[in-house]
Structure 1
Amino acid sequence: MKKVLLALSVVGVLMTSCGTKKKLAECEAKNKEIQDLLNTATVKLNTCLAEKESLGSQIDYLKKNNADLINNMGNITTLSSKGAENLEKSLESMKEKDLKITRLQDALTRKDSVTLALVTSLKREVGINDPDIQVNVEKGVVFISISDKLLFKSGSYNVSDRAKEVLSKVAKVINSKPDFECMVEGHTDNVPYISNGVLLDNWDLSVKRSTSIIRVLTKDLGVPAKQLIAAGRSEYIPLVDNNTADNRAINRRTRIVIMPKIDQFYDMIEKEMKNMKN
Structure 2
Amino acid sequence: MKRIILFGAVVLLASAFSSCVVLSPKKYKALLAKQDSLGTGWNESQQSNENLGKRILKLKQDTADLNGRLNELQGKYATVDNNYSKLKSNSSSEISKLSGDLKKREERLKEVEDILRKRDEASNQLKEKLQQALLGFSKNGLTVEMKNGKVYVSLTDKLLFPSGSIIIDDKGKQALSQLAKVLKEQPEIIIAVEGHTDSQKIVNLGQIKDNWDLSVLRSTSVVRFLTESEKVPGIRLTATGKGEFQPLDSNTTPEGRSRNRRIEIVLSPKLDELYNLIKQ
Counterparts of 2:263 and 2:57, CA distance in 1 = 102
The share of aligned pairs that are identical, in percent, is 29
In structure 2, the CA distance between the partners of 1:226 and 1:86, relative to structure 1 (3 Å rule), is closer
Contact 1:189-1:248 at 8 Å conserved across structures = yes
Deviation (angstroms), 1:63: 0.8
1:193-247 deviation digits (Å, cap 9, x = unpaired): 2243354433332233223333543465553445333333333443455444343
Cα distance in structure 1, aligned partners of 2:248 and 2:83:
62
Check whether the contact 2:131–2:144 (CA below 8 A) recurs between aligned residues.
no
CA contact (8 A) 1:125 1:169 kept: no
Number of the residue aligned with 1:137: 147
| 1:11-90 paired onto structure 2 within 5 Å | 18-19=22-23, 21=25, 24-90=28-94
Q: Residue 53 and residue 172 in structure 1: after superposition, are their counterparts in 2 closer, same or farther (change >3 A)?
A: same
* Number of residue-to-residue matches in the alignment: 255
How far, CA to CA, are the matches of 1:234 and 1:114 in structure 2? Answer: 33
1:159 partnered with 2:168: yes
Give the structure, 1 or 2, with the largest relative contact order (CA under 8 Å, sep 6 or more): 1
**Residue 244 of structure 2: which of 206, 226, 235 is its match?**
235
Partner SS, residue 187 of structure 2: coil
Matches within 5 A, 1:82-231: 82-127=86-131, 130=138, 132-138=142-148, 141-197=150-206, 199-218=208-227, 221=230, 223-231=232-240
SS in 2 for 1:159: coil
**Counterpart code for 1:208:** L
Structure 2 match to 1:245: 254
CA-CA distance at 1:77 after TM superposition: 1.6
1:257 and 2:260 are equivalent in the alignment: no
Q: Which letter maps to 2:165?
A: S
Quote the offset at 1:28 in angstroms: 0.9
Change (3 A) 1:81 1:241: farther
Report the equivalent of 2:275: 266
Report SS of the residue matched to 1:154: coil
SS in 1 for 2:183: helix
Residue 176 of structure 1 and its aligned partner are, at CA, apart by 0.9
What corresponds to 2:11 in structure 1?
none
- Structure 1: 5+ residue stretches without partners: 1-15, 272-278
CA offset digits 1:40-89 (Å, max 9, x no partner): 32243133223212311221122112211220121112221232234234
In structure 2, do the counterparts of structure 1 residues 251 and 60 end up closer, same or farther at CA, with 3 Å as the change threshold? same
> AA paired with 2:194?
E
**Greater shift in the superposed pair: 39-48 or 60-69:** 39-48
Q: Report the TM-score, using the length of structure 1 for normalisation.
A: 0.75
| Kept after mapping to 1: 8 A contact 2:196/2:260 | yes
Structure 1, residues 153-179: CA drift from partner, whole Å, max 9, x if none? 432334345434543442232111124
